């Protein structure tokens, strides 16, 4: 059976959302980020990214990771593209062209958006949107160019590839979400904002998000 390693309050939301969309049976192993624990190597510590047993599986000590029929993968983009292509259906690419576009948009999010979006997400999570206004606004300025690219795309398309919701939308939506707390950025890009709302209105996203919200905080 597929195993997905990683707590909901991490990038593991990406394969966990995808698994819900695909209706996959899986075992969830809630590996926690070691930085969230005072002593991640304590005998009674929750399984985490520095737990020796997890490091044997994933030497980089990162989440998410999966184990599937003897294959171990880390890096959420690779995981999601693999699972979508393995199980097929409308979320997967139908040909090489779609495969290339889904890969492009996934890595566009990871390389052009995620770093600065995470700065906004961290400030919001720590209650620093106002006290770190200069940092947040600097990150938002750097997001304007990639967001403008997406705004142009969604002016003529409801989704990223093939006119339908796919794994690429999951991969990118879970990155764009990090900047969602800075509303002026989304108000300035209404097509992008509407696309994100479409993605987050899906039943599988809502189910994943409910589990994320109910997950205990260490």
- Report the b/e string of 132-167 with b at 16+ CB within 10 A: beeebeebbebbeebbeebbeebeeeebbbbeebbb
The predicted pLDDT at position 146 comes to 98
The predicted pLDDT at position 218 comes to 78
212: Cα separation from own chain's centroid: 12
The predicted pLDDT at position 217 comes to 82
The predicted pLDDT at position 17 comes to 98
Q: Tell me what percent of the residues of the chain surpass a pLDDT of 90.
A: 97
Architecture of domain 96-202: Up-down Bundle (1.20)
The predicted pLDDT at position 164 comes to 98
**Each residue's pLDDT tens digit, 66-113:** 999 999 999 999 999 999 999 999 999 999 999 999 999 999 999 999
The predicted pLDDT at position 27 comes to 98
The yes-or-no verdict on residue 41 having pLDDT over 90 is yes
Q: How confident is the model at residue 35 (pLDDT cuts 50, 70, 90)?
A: very high
3-state helix vs strand vs coil in the chain, percent to 5: 60, 10, 35
Q: How confident is the model at residue 181 (pLDDT cuts 50, 70, 90)?
A: very high
**Each residue's pLDDT tens digit, 109-157:** 999 999 999 999 999 999 998 899 999 999 999 999 999 999 999 999 9
Which sequence spans correspond to the domains of the chain? 2-88, 96-202
Residue 185 near residue 136, CB atoms below 8 Å: no
The predicted pLDDT at position 137 comes to 96
**Each residue's pLDDT tens digit, 191-218:** 999 999 999 999 999 999 999 999 998 7
- Rounded CA-CA distance 201/206 in Å is 7
Fold of 2-88: Glutaredoxin (3.40.30)
Q: How confident is the model at residue 18 (pLDDT cuts 50, 70, 90)?
A: very high
């Amino acid at each position: 059976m597929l195993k997905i390693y990683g707590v909901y309050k991490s990038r593991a939301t990406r394969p966990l959302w995808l698994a819900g969309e695909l209706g996959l049976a899986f075992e969830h192993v809630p590996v926690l980020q070691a930085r969230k624990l005072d002593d991640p190597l304590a005998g009674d510590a929750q399984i985490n990214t520095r737990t020796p047993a997890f490091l044997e599986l994933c030497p980089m000590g990162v989440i998410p990771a999966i184990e599937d029929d003897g294959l171990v993968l880390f890096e959420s983009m690779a995981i999601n593209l693999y699972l979508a292509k393995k199980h097929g259906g409308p979320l997967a690419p139908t040909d090489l062209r779609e495969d290339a576009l889904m890969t492009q948009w996934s890595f566009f999010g990871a390389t052009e958006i995620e770093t600065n979006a995470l700065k906004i997400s961290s400030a919001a999570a720590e209650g620093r949107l106002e006290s770190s206004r200069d940092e947040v606004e600097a990150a938002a300025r750097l997001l304007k160019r990639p967001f403008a690219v997406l705004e142009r795309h969604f002016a003529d398309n409801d989704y990223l590839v093939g006119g339908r919701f796919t794994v690429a939308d999951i991969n990118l939506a879970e990155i764009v979400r990090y900047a969602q707390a800075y509303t002026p950025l989304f108000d300035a890009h209404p097509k992008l904002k509407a696309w994100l709302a479409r993605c987050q209105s899906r039943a599988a996203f809502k189910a994943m998000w409910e589990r994320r919200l109910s997950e205990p905080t260490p």
